[in-house]
Amino acid sequence: MAEGEQDKPGYDESSGQGGVLAERQVRTERPSLFKVLLHNDDYTPMEFVVEVLTRFFNKSQTQATEIMLAVHHRGTGLCGVYPYEIAETKVAQVTEAAREQEYPLQCTLERA
Ligand code: TYC
């Protein structure tokens, strides 16, 4: 046996195939991603939208203000892209925070 051979990945003395494992393909599913979107309305205060973006989407004050203004002017804006369960949790958190304050703020998911 050549020196260092045992350190090679795939080397297996017990496999009976000259020390080299048969190649196996391991298929991993990539989780599908979802966009979390905020929607404009006429009643939710701008400061509340900025707070939501900093609190639930980890945006800086500057980023949050930019996104909030984009939503205000264009109708919708992207908060972030996440695997389904995380995206769903973000939507639920925003919806609950808005409901507590009785604001009509809408937050939705869309396949990325
Ligand atoms: N249009 C709201 C206002 O003028 C502000 C706003 C921005 C509301 C973004 C919702 O997702 C939103 N107070």
pLDDT in single tens digits along all 112 residues of the chain: 333 333 333 333 333 444 455 678 888 888 899 999 999 999 999 999 999 999 999 999 999 999 999 999 999 999 999 999 999 999 999 999 999 999 999 999 999 9
Q: How far apart are alpha carbons 96 and 102 in whole angstroms?
A: 10
Return the pLDDT at 17. 45
Q: Which residue's entry shows tokens 């109708």?
A: 75
Probe residue for ligand 1, chosen from 38, 42, 44 as the CB with the greatest number of ligand atoms within 8 Å: 44
Distances (CA, A) of 39 to 3, 58, 80: 64, 18, 14
Can you state the angle between helices 84-100 and 46-57, rounded to 10 degrees? Answer: 140
Return the pLDDT at 82. 98
The closest residue, in CA terms, to atom 13 on ligand 1 is 45
Probe residue for ligand 1, chosen from 59, 67, 71 as the CB with the greatest number of ligand atoms within 8 Å: 71
Q: Residue 88 CB: number of other CB atoms within 10 A?
A: 14
**What is the number of alpha carbons within 13 Å of residue 4 lying toward its C-beta?**
0
This prediction has a pTM of 0.78
